[in-house]
């Protein structure tokens, strides 16, 4: 079975869509998967079972990235095309079946709309797949040795962020002798370009308890650290 799975550019939306992908893989042991998504989300899919290819949809002028997708996919016959972007070009591919995101139900949560793509009775939980390299790196990054408090103090939009002093106060409270994680190590997560936002918090954590992972992990390794 050949599957083309067209999903989101944003990391969060792409993660939500993995429940659908998991359901198809779970029900089709011989599935051959091609994923098309934006560059930020692409690393999420590198360990998908049955993965043949990831097509990175780098945005181009005049929406030519969709033409590129069509050129890369048109030589094949697809058993199933799942298009969560509702790109017109996926209608022009040779396929047995195409499923897309309904434009109705804009008042519904995105995961509920995704459930309707495959006519599922229950919303499928997101699913991420890791390879041995992700697990090994995670174990090296956070070695055994007692509890760890994970903190993600950054965001891509300032309005979503919390002030560093608030994070510092919370960390102190949780890891105090009478806290729920007394003496715990503190792992700080974030992208490399977010380091200036996190530096004040990082520097305030005692050296012996600090695990600075900002800019040092890809998405799946970060997931493996948290799993």
List where CATH 3.40.50.2000 sits in the chain: 2-117, 132-226
In CATH, which superfamily holds the domain spanning 132-226? Glycogen Phosphorylase B; (3.40.50.2000)
Would the pLDDT of 131 be above 70?
A: yes
CATH number 3.90.700.10 is the correct assignment for the domain at 2-117: no
- 109, pLDDT greater than 80: yes
Q: Is 112 exposed, middle or buried (0-12, 13-18, 19+ CB in 10 A)?
A: exposed
The answer to whether residues 94 and 78 touch, using CB atoms and an 8 Å cutoff, is yes
pLDDT digits 0-9 by tens, 63-107: 999 999 999 999 999 999 999 999 999 999 999 999 998 777 567
pLDDT in tens, 171-215: 999 999 999 999 999 999 999 999 999 999 999 999 999 999 999
| pTM score of the predicted model | 0.91
How confident is the model at residue 106, as a pLDDT? 66
pLDDT for res 118: 95
Q: pLDDT tens digits for 37-70?
A: 999 999 999 999 999 999 999 999 999 999 999 9
Q: Which two tokens stand for residue 124?
A: 């499928």
């Amino acid at each position: 079975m050949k599957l083309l799975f067209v999903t989101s550019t944003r990391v969060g939306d792409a993660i939500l869509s993995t429940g659908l992908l998991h359901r198809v893989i779970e029900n089709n042991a011989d599935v051959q998967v091609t994923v098309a998504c934006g560059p930020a989300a692409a690393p999420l899919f590198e360990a998908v079972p049955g993965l043949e290819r990831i097509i990175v949809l780098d945005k181009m002028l005049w929406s030519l990235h969709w033409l590129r997708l069509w050129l890369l996919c048109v030589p094949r016959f697809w058993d199933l095309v799942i298009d969560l972007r509702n790109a017109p070009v996926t209608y022009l591919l040779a396929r047995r079946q195409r499923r897309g995101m309904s434009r109705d139900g804009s008042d519904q949560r995105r995961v509920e709309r995704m459930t309707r793509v495959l006519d599922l009775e229950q919303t499928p939980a997101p699913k991420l797949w890791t390879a041995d390299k992700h697990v090994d790196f995670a174990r090296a990054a956070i070695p055994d040795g007692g509890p760890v408090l994970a903190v993600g103090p950054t965001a891509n939009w300032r309005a979503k962020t919390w002030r560093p002093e608030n994070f510092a106060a919370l960390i102190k409270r949780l890891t105090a002798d009478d806290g729920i994680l007394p003496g715990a190590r503190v792992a700080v997560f974030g992208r490399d370009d977010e380091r200036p936002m996190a530096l004040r918090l990082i520097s305030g954590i005692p050296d012996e308890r600090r695990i600075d992972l900002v800019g040092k992990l890809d998405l799946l390794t970060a997931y493996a650290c948290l799993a």
